[in-house]
Structures are given as structure tokens and as C-alpha cells.
Amino acid sequence: MTEAIELQPTVQFPNGKLACSIDEFAGLTDIGRSTLYEAIKDGSLIVRKRGARTVIIASDGMRWLNNLPVAKPRGADNGKEAT
């Protein structure tokens, strides 16, 4: 008897793809290609290779986005004490 394999929910990009090119990811996120290439170089954004094609898997792209620093609201911690 074969054991059932438990599947994880699939992460997809808004366009329904499981993976996309660096250019597509830049377009989906409004993040510049230079910034993405820096993240790839420093290892924070994982990419995969298939022949000459470089792709970002949706789950890796989402992990990278979720690990970006959280922005502080404007005016927060501006160095002045509340009076």
C-alpha cells in the first residue's frame, strides 16, 4: 500500500505562476532590478537556474519580501519627547 503524501499549500505569484524571471519579479513588486541583483548576490534572495534561465520561485520571493525591514510610521521616533 502506498502512503499518502501530504502536500503543502502552493504559493503563487498574483499572475498564477509558481516561478518568474527577475524582470517579472521586479515588475510585480516595483523593486528595481539592481536591488534584486544585490539581494541575490548577498544570498538573501534565492534564485534557481534551469540552463541559462534564472527564476525566482514564488515561496522564495515571498520569504524575501516578508524578511524586509518593517517601516516605521512617519513621525515615529523623530527624536523629540512627547509633551
- The pTM score is 0.73
**Domain boundaries defined on the chain:** 19-66
CB 58 within 8 A of CB 13: yes
Instruction: Pick 17 or 54 by higher pLDDT.
Output: 54
pLDDT at 79 over 90: no
**What per-residue confidence (pLDDT) applies to 9?**
59
Element (H, E) at 16: none
Give residue 3's pLDDT band: very low, low, confident or very high (50, 70, 90).
Answer: confident
Give residue 25's pLDDT band: very low, low, confident or very high (50, 70, 90).
Answer: very high
